[in-house]
Structure 1
Amino acid sequence: MAMNLPSGRGRGRRAPMADINVTPMVDVMLVLLIIFMVTAPLMTAGVPVNLPDARAKALDQEQKPVEISMDATGAVFIDQDQIGEDALPVRLASIAASRAVGNEPQVLLRADRKLDYGRVMRVMGELNRAGLNRVALVTVEGTPN
C-alpha cells in the first residue's frame, strides 16, 4: 500500500489540503451562544415605553366622536361630565344604544401618562362590553422622549 506524501519532487504542485479547520467556526458559535444567553432575559422583561407621545396623523371624522378622558387621579369624564365608576357602564350602554345600527360612534380615549395601566384597561373593557369597539387612544403629536 502506497501513501501519497507531499514531496519536494514533482512539477511544483501541492496536493490539496483536505482537512477543515473548525477552530474559527467553534469560536464564532461560542460568541453567538454568549450573546444569546445575555440578551434572552432582556427580551422577556420588556422595554419601558412612554406611550402618550406619537408621530401619528389625525384621524378623519364624519361625526363628532365621544371623548372619554381620565385625569391623573383616575377620574373618568365623558365629554365634560365627570362619571363615577359605577355609572360608567350604564352611560356607555346608553351611548351605544342611541346611535343608529351600523353607525357605531368613534370613541377617543385620553388618559394621563402617569395613570395606572390597569385603570385604563378597565375603562377599555367597559367600552368593549357596551359594544363600542371603535376606540382610538389620543396621544400628543411629536417625538417620544
Structure 2
Amino acid sequence: MAFDLGRGKGGVQPSMNVTPLVDVVLVLLIIFMVVTPLLARRMWMHIPPKEDSEQSPPPPPDALPPIVLTLGSDGQPHVNGELIPRERLIGGLQRMLNARPDKVVFFDASDRAPYGDALALMDFVKGGGIETLAVLAENLADAEAAAGATPTQQP
C-alpha cells in the first residue's frame, strides 16, 4: 500500500501570478475615474417647488402677459405666437425684457420639434444674454385654465 506523494522529486509547481493583471485593472479604473467627470454634460434647471394650495391667486389685472418663446414643429421660433427670425430674436427679446420688471422668458417646444433643435435654441438665447429662461412643463394656457377651474366632487 505504498504510493508516491511527489515530495522527493523537487518538481516545480506552476502557479499564476495575478499581480500584473491587478496593476493593469487598477490603472484602467483610475483613468476612467478621471475621465468620466470630464465627459458629463450638465444643464442646470431651477424647478419651482410645488405649491401646497390647490389654487393660485389670480394675477393682477394690470400685469403684463408673460414672454413665451416657442419652438414650433417646423423649427422656427415664435415669441408670444408671432414668428420671429433668429437674427432678430435676441434683439426683440432684449427690448421686451427691458420694459419688464421680472426679466423672465418662458420656453416651450412643440412635441414634434427635435430635442437637439430645442437645446440649440435655448443655448442661442442664453448665449445672447437672456439670463432667466424658464422651461415650461405644460402648456401655459392649460395651466391658467386649471388654476381658474374649481374642482368637482366625484361620487
Alignment TM class, shorter chain as reference: 0.3 to 0.5
Structure 1 length-normalised TM: 0.46
